[in-house]
Amino acid sequence: HLFVRPMHAGDIDAVMAVAASLSQAPQWPRSAYEATLGPHSIPQRVAFVAGDRLAGKLAGFAIASLVAGQAELESIAVLKSEQRHGIGRTLLSMLIDHMKSLHAGEFLLEVRSSNHQALALYRILGWVETGRRERYYADPEEDAVLMLLRLG
């Protein structure tokens, strides 16, 4: 009963609630989500939401940008209660396919070094670690793992 579709302006409240429920998710202001959905946003962005069609409830979202043939995962979040049900994998697969259709050659991301669940998912989907940024994150302070997926 999972649905995945492009994010709309009417999804912003639910998206912000998903992000707010997760301490490690980026906490963007409403204006950042609104800018993401703008048809002429710079950089170009792609955003998808996912949820339960029967419950009519949003369970997660993912946002990526595209600059000069290089995609970057900017944010992905799935409600804690809905994790480990394939929602994150489905969102990422949709983003990968969409970025391929836009002729992106590679897809970058960074993730907290302690986020073992996300690291495992990214590796399963083909991302490889390319480096680290020491003490990149605060609260708690920890390294960012840099990863790359070749799309070409």
State pLDDT tens for residues 3-18.
999 999 999 999 999 9
| Alpha carbon distance 128, 76 (integer Å) | 18
pLDDT band for position 75 (cuts 50, 70, 90): very high
Strand ranges in the chain using DSSP code E only, listed in sequence order:
2-6, 44-52, 57-67, 70-78, 106-112, 128-137, 142-150
Query: For residue 96, which phi and psi values (nearest 5 degrees)?
Result: -60, -50
- C-alpha separations of 93 from 67, 88, 89, 129 in Å: 19, 9, 6, 19
Single pTM value for the model: 0.92
Structure tokens at 111: 């993730």
pLDDT band for position 52 (cuts 50, 70, 90): confident
Structure tokens at 141: 């302070």
Paired residues of 144 in beta bridges: 112, 133
Of the candidates 106, 113, 54, 62, the residue with the CA atom closest to the CA atom of residue 87: 62
Q: Report the pLDDT averaged over residues 106-124.
A: 93
